[in-house]
A = this chain, B = another copy of it.
Amino acid sequence: MNQEVDVSLSAVPKDNSNFADKLIAAVKKKGNPVCVGLDPRLGQIPEFIKKKQIEKFGETFEAAANSFLEFNIGIIDAVEEIVPVVKPQIAFYEQYGFRGMWAYEETCKYAQKKGLIVVADAKRNDIGSTAQGYANTFLGEVELFDEKLPSLDADALTVTPYLGYDGIKPFVEACREFGKGIFVLVKTSNPSSGDLQDQMVKEGKMTNYELMSHLVESWGSDLVGESGYSSVGAVVGATHPKQAAEIRKYLPQSIFLVPGYGAQGGGAADVRPCFNDDGLGAIVNSSRGIIFAGSDQGYAEASRAAALEMIADLKTIF
């Protein structure tokens, strides 16, 4: 939509090998488990970016979408050498309609081209052909007349398990076929996560989130790679360290995607239980704390400094 920042780059080479192995290799290569949350908010985008895009497009959804993309490119360029993973949260983009979705796609492509692993945070959930549609979009290939083509083609996707295995299976199969991963919501970081997740089930023997842990373990058992980790991971919030320690025991082979560090109140000590003793098994997300660390012209450098600070903080726990 905007030629100047168009990043419709040539396709990233396909690698259908096990997602968990690729993620563990990236964490080892960068020497840290930091995931940068690319969650842009128009009110916090530097003025110089917005001004430029408004001059070009007026005060439109198109200007918002192009502001997001330009902002993200700055962040990605600043952190690509130091972190292994980025996680764009789709809600922020979708607000600006199909133009926002364009910025989302271009952001994912740009990050992948720079060698970053992209986790699409969309918490998709449905059944049957609908779940298959989501799996096609984010992880696999979509039907296009006489051929099949990748669409959004992220490296991994967050999914919500309320519908049971019917709602997970199409994603697991896409993981196997295309070398992708999923992170299933198990214990989320928010205050009311217990409304459902903490309820005792199985005659008082476990909570819903513990039950979900066991299900995630079984769903991912066929997708364990040479690293010893499975491509079916779990979302476990940094704000519940005690529960995280329990879930870590039930899910020794899963990689945890850990939100809640930084702005939501979790610190390095809180995320420690999400890791195995080998220092692996989790990636820790920070969004606002990194991407909005600075403002104006220096925002990208400030985000790099904030990422380095987070990396140093996480190194204190091992």
Stretch at the interface among A12-20, A95-103, A222-230, A247-255: A95-103
From B102, B126, B185, give the contact of A163 (CB < 8 A).
B185
Q: Are A97 and B91 in contact (CB under 8 A)?
A: no
Number of A residues with CB within 8 Å of any CB on chain B: 74
Interface string of A196-226 (1 = CB under 8 A from B): 1101111110001001100100000000000
Q: Does A21 contact B (CB under 8 A)?
A: no
User: How far is A166 from B63 in the complex, measured between Cα atoms in Å?
Assistant: 31
Q: Does A303 contact B (CB under 8 A)?
A: no
Q: Are B199 and A147 in contact (CB under 8 A)?
A: no
Q: Are A133 and B95 in contact (CB under 8 A)?
A: yes
Copies of this protein chain in the complex: 2
- Note all chain B residues with C-beta closer than 8 A to A50: 145
* Interface residues, chain A, with chain B CB atoms under 8 Å away: 39, 41-43, 50, 54, 59-61, 63-64, 89, 91-92, 94-99, 101-102, 104-105, 123-131, 133-134, 136-137, 142-147, 151-152, 160-167, 185, 188-197, 199-204, 208, 211-212, 215
Q: Are B95 and A142 in contact (CB under 8 A)?
A: yes
From B61, B162, B191, give the contact of A161 (CB < 8 A).
B162
Beyond A99-B98, A130-B92, is A185–B162 a contact (Cβ under 8 Å)?
Answer: yes
